[in-house]
Amino acid sequence: MENLLSSASSHRTLPDGRFVVPPEHRPPASPAGAASMPVIDLSLPRDVVRAAVLDAGKDLGFFQVVNHGVPERAMRDMEAACADFFRLRAEDKAAYYSEDTDRTNRLFSSTMYEVAGERYWRYCLRLAVFPVDRTEDGWPEKPPQFREVLERFIVPTRSVGMELLKLLCEGIGLRPDYFDGDLSGGEVIMNVNHYPPCPDPSRTLGLPPHCDRNLITLLLQGSVCGLQVAYRGRWIDVDPVPGAFVVNFGHQLEITTNGLFKSVEHRAVTNAAAARTSVATFIMPTMDSVIGPAEELVGTGEGSDPPRYRSFTFREFMSIYKTVGARRESVEKAFKI
Ligand code: OGA
Ligand code: NI
């Protein structure tokens, strides 16, 4: 097992030069910009919520949602169970550890999108989590409450994601069920990210700048800061809001909406004081889904938008994404017309 995994809490200096990211990728010495991220109350009237989601989605590409219907208890229990998982003894965690990038359910460190051998200050427990009855056999058995807590969390969390997709469709004139079926019917993947306290936060990153590969992401970020979003050439902090999900769009949503909603780059910074655990839920298309700009949103006549992306199967997307990396620019190069 990786050195970092077994002795993370005892590091006083970076254990390996590969954790030092080049100066241009480092967190800024001064605090990040403070553009505020909209917090949208999903219990407001539907037309108000739709307008807010549309505005935030088109401008920043990131927003937070509260009063979303996932019980507070389910969220708190999930945070606690995930933190407990990472507190297990190294021997217990070793059973899940794997460096095989083709394996869905596994515990690993850093990320599979390593740039020039750089390493990142992060562990990740990655699981397929939905539908529950088809995936739960692969979930960790320790800590003992983990499976039950995960089930109580993922079912309503996925529903929030599906509801947001509906609102987005309504807002841009797609039929509300556009994303039902294959486009959202692939694996729902969960990344439980864990960033131990880091001895040198100014020279390391927890996660490098990347865009998500899926349709829509819901992130439970906990109470410790660390997520930053690219906005107009700067990195802005996403302040934790109790009980909120941070929502962002993956490449598949950008491409199907012909660029109306952008998949925005984000990264995670580390800190020296406290461990941070976040839970990202990714709604994905099936591997055989054909992805491309929705016909309703493109046209060739005057005044209409020509398609900005070519069509492909999600399987093809994933194989290219794995080789070109997760930066926005490289994915655009591969799929933009
Ligand atoms: C991710 C991600 C951010 C965070 O898992 O894709 O962007 O704050 N996580 O952990
Ligand atoms: Ni991400």
Q: What is the mean pLDDT of residues 91-95?
A: 90
Q: Using a pLDDT cut of 70, give the percent of the chain over it.
A: 91
pLDDT at position 4 is: 44
Which of 213, 81, 190, 221 is CA-nearest to residue 126?
190
Q: Is the pLDDT reported for residue 291 higher than 90?
A: yes
For residue 124, the ligand closest to its alpha carbon is 1
- Could you state, in order of their start, the residue ranges of all structural domains in the chain? 18-335
Q: Is the pLDDT reported for residue 2 higher than 60?
A: no
Q: What is the mean pLDDT of residues 287-302?
A: 90
Say how far apart CA 50 and CA 166 lie, in whole Å: 9
Q: What is the mean pLDDT of residues 99-105?
A: 88
> Which residues form the pocket of ligand 1, taking CB atoms under 6 Å from any ligand atom?
191, 193, 207, 212, 219, 221, 226-227, 266, 268, 278, 280
Which of 240, 330, 315 is CA-nearest to residue 285?
315
Q: Whose CA is nearest to atom 1 of ligand 1?
A: 280
Q: Whose CA is nearest to atom 2 of ligand 1?
A: 280
pLDDT tens digits, one per residue of 212-269: 999 999 999 999 999 999 988 888 899 999 999 999 999 999 999 999 999 999 999 9
Distance 211 CA to ligand 2 centre (A): 6
pLDDT at position 330 is: 80
Q: Is the pLDDT reported for residue 1 higher than 50?
A: no
Distance 303 CA to ligand 2 centre (A): 35
Q: Is the pLDDT reported for residue 323 higher than 60?
A: yes
Among the residue ranges 155-164, 235-244, 273-282, 315-324, the one predicted with the least confidence is 315-324
Q: What is the mean pLDDT of residues 183-210?
A: 92
Atom of ligand 1 at shortest range from CA of 227:
8
Distance 337 CA to ligand 1 centre (A): 29
Atom of ligand 1 at shortest range from CA of 276:
10
Q: Is the dihedral of CA 216, 164, 253, 39 positive or negative?
A: negative
Distance 49 CA to ligand 1 centre (A): 25
Q: What is the mean pLDDT of residues 183-211?
A: 92
Query: What is the residue-averaged pLDDT of the chain?
Result: 89
Q: Does domain 18-335 have CATH number 2.40.50.100?
A: no
